[in-house]
């Protein structure tokens, strides 16, 4: 018992020491790269901008490692096609879902369906949302959200990019997965008929803030489980139900 108490006390002390360093590094990346990405996009175009976004998220993943976090990609990741559009349907646990997706899935040029509140006021993130090809939706206005998703789907269809959508509709702060809402994902499937649908299970990012924003948890083991892609054919609602079951099947700590 004394040894266990000692290690707990040391880990708690380290979390108090490392959390400010993490926030400082994370914030510096956001502030420093905000003008860099603006200049890059305006002078060199979207391809160069995508490379800057990858660098940003490589650094943000490094910030997470300052907290002793590990990140693992599991499943069918290596076999993902890059010559056709993909729609990733994932559970959503935390803002810390995003750096790993941007960095490790960069070969598919990830774009997101996100709430409109994120498109303003946040250095680096807001500008990328507005200008980087993602879709912003008003969760209180279903008509606007549907139009934005359809437009986004056509963009993904044309560019053969990877679209990421979180059908739960909001983050799960406890890690427990909520039922999928089908309307947004169904609209995306209809507007991007050539896409393969990829279930994606994200594990443990909620643990960073399980006890609040300060101190952050140390040694979190994050994983992304890529399930085999499914063809976008037949009954969309049945397909979405299959995807939801697949995502839930690899969620750690669930029944």
Q: Which two tokens stand for residue 16?
A: 């108090």
CA distance 159 to 174: 35
Q: How many domains does the chain have?
A: 1
- Alpha-carbon distances, residue 32 vs 41, 51, 59 (angstroms): 15, 16, 12
Question: Is the pTM above the cut of 0.75?
Answer: yes
Q: What confidence score (pLDDT) does residue 62 get?
A: 98
Helix (H, G, I), strand (E, B) or coil at 216: coil
Is residue 35 in some structural domain? yes
pLDDT computed for residue 20 by the predictor: 97
Whether 127 maps to a domain, the answer reads yes
Domain assignment present for 57: yes
Q: Is residue 225 part of a domain?
A: yes
Tell which residue, 225, 230, 220, has the closest CA to residue 201. 225
Residue 83 token pair: 């010559």
Q: Is residue 165 assigned to a domain?
A: yes
Residue 68 and residue 11: Cα distance in Å, rounded? Answer: 11
For the chain, 255 residues long, give each residue's pLDDT as a single digit of tens.
Answer: 566 776 777 888 899 999 999 999 999 999 999 999 999 999 999 999 999 999 999 999 999 999 999 999 999 999 899 999 999 999 999 999 999 999 999 999 999 999 999 999 999 999 999 999 999 999 889 999 999 999 999 999 999 999 999 999 888 778 889 999 999 999 999 999 999 999 999 999 999 999 899 999 999 999 999 999 999 998 999 999 999 999 999 998 654
Residue 254 in any domain: the answer is no
The pLDDT score that the predictor gives to residue 6 is 65
Domain span at residue 79?
A: 2-249
CA distance 32 to 34: 6
Please tell me the predicted confidence (pLDDT) of residue 2. Answer: 66
Note whether residue 255 is domain-resident: no
Q: Are 225 and 75 in contact (CB under 8 A)?
A: yes
- In angstroms, what CA-CA distances link 221 with 63, 65, 72, 103, 217? 14, 10, 8, 17, 11
Identify the residue whose tokens are 């924003």. Answer: 213
- 91: domain CATH number is 3.40.1130
Q: Which pLDDT score is estimated for 234?
A: 83
Burial annotation 62-88 (CB, 10 A radius, 16+ → b, else e):
ebbebbebebeeebeeeebeeeebbbb
């Amino acid at each position: 018992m004394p040894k266990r108490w000692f290690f707990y006390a040391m880990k708690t002390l380290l979390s108090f020491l490392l959390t400010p360093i993490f926030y400082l590094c994370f914030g510096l990346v956001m502030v420093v790269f905000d003008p860099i990405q603006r200049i890059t996009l305006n002078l060199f175009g979207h391809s160069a901008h995508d490379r800057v976004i990858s660098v940003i998220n490589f650094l943000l993943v490094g910030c997470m490692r300052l907290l002793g976090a590990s990140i693992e990609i599991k499943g069918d990741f290596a076999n993902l096609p890059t010559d056709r559009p993909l729609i990733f349907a994932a559970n959503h646990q935390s803002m810390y879902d995003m750096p790993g997706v941007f960095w490790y899935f960069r070969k598919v040029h990830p774009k997101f369906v996100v709430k409109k509140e994120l498109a303003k006021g946040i250095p680096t993130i807001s500008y990328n949302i507005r200008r980087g090809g993602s879709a912003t939706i008003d969760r209180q206005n279903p008509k606007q959200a549907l139009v934005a998703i359809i437009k986004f789907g056509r963009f993904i269809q044309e560019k053969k990019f990877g679209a990421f959508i979180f059908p739960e509709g909001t983050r799960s702060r406890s890690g427990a997965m909520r039922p999928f809402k089908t309307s947004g994902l169904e609209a995306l499937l209809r507007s991007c008929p050539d896409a393969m649908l990829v279930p994606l299970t994200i594990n443990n990012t909620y643990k960073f803030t399980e006890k609040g924003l300060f101190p952050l948890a140390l040694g979190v083991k994050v994983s992304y489980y890529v399930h085999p892609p499914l063809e976008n054919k037949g009954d969309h609602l049945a397909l979405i139900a299959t995807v939801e079951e697949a995502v839930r099947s690899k969620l750690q700590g669930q029944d």
